Structure 1
């Protein structure tokens, strides 16, 4: 490209949105750092994915990835073995697709961006999210907030429905928490450690099963006035602070504004997909938690590391 063609491109840079600037920056960097280089350097194996044994020997390379041979089970492996991305093709487009996940693009827009079929983009979305959705807080302490939010049950993408189809943008059978509303319990402490748990129903047994292994015994649980939380705290011996919906929103340091703000961000972000199939809801919750963990600092490389299961230790339980 000559100088006369290059100058108009420079003048148009000011018209780019922050998301488009980030995407351009990634595209320029991707010419220097390939997916294979990231997989080889930052995803080097230290134990066998087949038998979890540690002695591995270098065993050449294949399709641009280093191979290893286990000295215990004698099987060979590469950095993608036993990961959700194993056997996926077009690795040169993975970093671009990771950026599409960060931007929250629809399947069709991600497919257009990466130059792949929409079915491929849909497959990649749920392969990338398969491990990401399992990564959430395992222990919360201090002041812990809990509240439930609801998503309308959806059979999006299925040809045979167990009920009559709703009109686009439909509502539940009845107002409030009807049977076709999927409850999601959101638990969040002041360290921003977050867990989202899909419940079969909001009752004492299911709330106890969700909170017992998660909330520290010395924690202070802040909730609304729902009786299920009171019953759990009394049985578990956990201090309970009730924030009534008709009273003040905060009582000193005790409130549920953090968890309510997370719910609001989650609902606002997920609205762009115009309904999420219930069978994939867990993946979308994990997707949102990943974006919350990194906030604005997430890069396509971070997203790829998360998808393969190689995450920084300090981020694993948040």
Structure 2
């Protein structure tokens, strides 16, 4: 049973969960979703995360043809962590500091690497990484790109032998030298556009998310990017998980 819904029957909780699907279109924040479904803000949070968790690790087909891979970075965040100090007190102290100190503090926040790979048919693979390395990228992409495909990426030490290890054709672009397109068709503009869209959605629309939930939001965004959202379609997707849970 959902948290903050303990007094309700399981049927009622399930009804609220089904109702909340309407708010999973990626265009509704927690407070409007709570009002729309007639639940508390806390319950809105738990409903969203329960539904996100169901599609977090779903895959929607291998990449094929011309694929692109690149990394982007998010600042480490503990948003919503009630164990941290009162943010008002923390903010009051920061207001007494100089602008330079604020800038230095922001720059010192750890960066969390996120890998995104996609093809020209809107298939997406993503992962939060511990670090950008050949080994970690290989582990995330192994078996996810159809044999015979071409993988485009920029010149980075971690990418140097990546395509070889994955048995793919490599097309390396030296972005630092202004190389944007190779042979007229090979580029990483598709994946970089996805990075921009992802950051606008997470940092702009949602005002950031806690790092511990970042992979969950990646999975939700991947679903929205791969499907034309509909309540029926999302219910069909998550019903597969519910059926599997009851069978096992």
> What's the TM-score bracket when you normalise by the shorter of the two chains?
0.7 to 0.9
What is residue 235 of structure 2 aligned with on the other side? Answer: 304
What is residue 75 of structure 2 aligned with on the other side? Answer: 152
Shift of 1:145: 0.3
Report the structure, 1 or 2, having the larger helix content: 2
What is residue 162 of structure 2 aligned with on the other side? Answer: 232
Q: Assess, with a 3 A threshold, how the Cα gap between structure 1 residues 108 and 174 changes in structure 2: closer, same or farther.
A: closer
Q: Assess, with a 3 A threshold, how the Cα gap between structure 1 residues 147 and 159 changes in structure 2: closer, same or farther.
A: same
Kept in 2, the 8 Å contact 1:153–1:180? The answer is yes
Which of residues 121, 133, 147 is equivalent to 1:217?
A: 147
Residues 39-84 of structure 1, C-alpha deviation per residue, up to 9 Å, x if partnerless?
A: xxxxxxxxxxxxxxxxxxxxxxxxxxxxxxxxxxxxxxxxxxxxxx
Q: TM-score, normalised by structure 1?
A: 0.62
* Distance (Å, rounded) in 1 between the aligned partners of 2:188 and 2:155: 11
* Distance (Å, rounded) in 2 between the aligned partners of 1:94 and 1:172: 43
Whether 1:190 and 2:120 are equivalent positions in the alignment is: yes
231-240 vs 192-201, greater mean Cα deviation: 231-240
Shift of 1:293: 1.5
What is residue 246 of structure 2 aligned with on the other side? Answer: none
Which of residues 204, 220, 234 is equivalent to 1:287?
A: 220
Shift of 1:127: 0.7
Q: Assess, with a 3 A threshold, how the Cα gap between structure 1 residues 236 and 287 changes in structure 2: closer, same or farther.
A: closer
* Distance (Å, rounded) in 1 between the aligned partners of 2:18 and 2:82: 33
* Distance (Å, rounded) in 1 between the aligned partners of 2:79 and 2:26: 22
Kept in 1, the 8 Å contact 2:53–2:216? The answer is yes
* Distance (Å, rounded) in 2 between the aligned partners of 1:141 and 1:219: 5
Shift of 1:182: 1.0
Shift of 1:193: 1.0
Unaligned 5+ residue runs, structure 2? 1-8, 96-101, 243-248
What is residue 116 of structure 1 aligned with on the other side? Answer: 39
Q: TM-score, normalised by structure 2?
A: 0.78
Alignment size in residue pairs? 220
Kept in 1, the 8 Å contact 2:26–2:224? The answer is no
* Distance (Å, rounded) in 1 between the aligned partners of 2:61 and 2:235: 22
Q: Assess, with a 3 A threshold, how the Cα gap between structure 1 residues 88 and 274 changes in structure 2: closer, same or farther.
A: farther
* Distance (Å, rounded) in 1 between the aligned partners of 2:14 and 2:197: 32
* Distance (Å, rounded) in 2 between the aligned partners of 1:179 and 1:148: 18
How do 1:91-130 and structure 2 match up within 5 A?
A: 91-130=14-53
Unaligned 5+ residue runs, structure 1? 1-85, 312-318
* RMSD between superposed Cα atoms in Å: 2.9
